[in-house]
Structure 1
């Protein structure tokens, strides 16, 4: 009903009473034969019951004053009410799901921005550390030059100074266009 499956169950209730053994069973017991007697016996009540979704969607019961046939309109009304409850619950669930998704999307966007900021900060810290490393190398090379000014620098020392300045420039993030052999990716064939 309204796109929802509702299960109907028709059954006749039973009346429970103490079990009364038959004459044959009593005779067998009197002879000392083994027999099993159930505690209860069930007899049909003659009253039809119709349950919708095991009674959660409505129930009509046959009675002396109102047979099931006269209560079918009531049952259809109960079924329609149950189907409308399903529709309302689905609509409410869809609204709640949409709100939950909206809140999740906002949180994901905030997390994405936060992660981007963390990445930028990490890059800034690395650049600052590399700049500091380049400064330390340059200071060392300048001190080396000044200590050697009193005497003539050897070719080996001049090569060390040239090489050291090149590496300091390569490390320095303020000089991004410097290309060095350390930038090359070397693949060794198998």
Structure 2
């Protein structure tokens, strides 16, 4: 943890008090993944020493030992090396571990504070209730957010389901329109072929009896039968059967929604 012996016992008592108080409120705790103390200038961003989980929100705790700063008096060796090497920088201050501690809380939505430290007026022991309350508040905020996210997801799914229903209706209507247009196109083709066959019959009637006329009449009889099958007005009109749409078929009617689900 990077603590000197002088403050270790007190730090552990503070940690034990926090864990006991929060576990009484239904929270859980576990030791952090710290393996050895990081260098002093990196301790603020080090992995948490332990975590407390309140209503699904994990709160990480770091216990740091404060440092007292004093002006640095250069040694003769430092002065000689600085004179010899231009890249040498003599430190401006010296830092000495103090008897004061600081608790840093991370994770979740901060409410009142994220750090508590020994001061001349208040020790950390006097601030433990505030730290426990902050854990409670962050847990409650996490639970509210979880419920709000669930509600938002449910509302989003309902909107998506409504959009899918409307897309299926629009798809069916579009399919009927295309079917109608295809029938109209077939009718125009049949009308054009009918005119053509009428002209062929006139020509066939003028032919002299013989094989050529027989072949022409055979051809026109086949063409007439084909025309009867081709012309849509020769069968009673009815609504077409709508095929089951594929996801890609619904995309043009979803107005930005994905056919695969509300989260895509």
For Structure 1 versus Structure 2, the TM-score category normalised by the shorter chain is 0.7 to 0.9
Alignment match of 1:173 (pick from 228, 232, 238): 232
Unaligned runs of at least 5 residues, structure 1:
177-190
C-alpha contact (below 8 Å) 1:58/1:79 kept by paired residues: no
* 1:55-93 CA distance string (max 9 Å, x none): 946332112332112221211111000110111111112
Alignment partner of 1:48: what SS?
strand
Residue 157 of structure 2 is matched in structure 1 by: 101
Structural RMSD (CA): 2.9
Residue 126 of structure 2 is matched in structure 1 by: 70
TM-score (norm 1): 0.76
Residue 143 of structure 2 is matched in structure 1 by: 87
C-alpha contact (below 8 Å) 2:55/2:142 kept by paired residues: no
Deviation of residue 120 (structure 1)?
Answer: 1.6
Alignment partner of 1:21: what SS?
coil
Residue 164 of structure 1 is matched in structure 2 by: 223
Deviation of residue 129 (structure 1)?
Answer: 0.8
* 1:93-142 CA distance string (max 9 Å, x none): 22122222222222222222222221221111111111221122123222
C-alpha contact (below 8 Å) 1:62/1:68 kept by paired residues: yes
Unaligned runs of at least 5 residues, structure 2:
1-53, 236-264
2-structure distance, mates of 1:18, 1:93: 53
Does residue 114 of the first structure (1) align with residue 170 of the second (2)? yes
**Higher CA-based Rg:** 1
Deviation of residue 17 (structure 1)?
Answer: 4.0
Does residue 43 of the first structure (1) align with residue 96 of the second (2)? yes
Does residue 139 of the first structure (1) align with residue 195 of the second (2)? yes
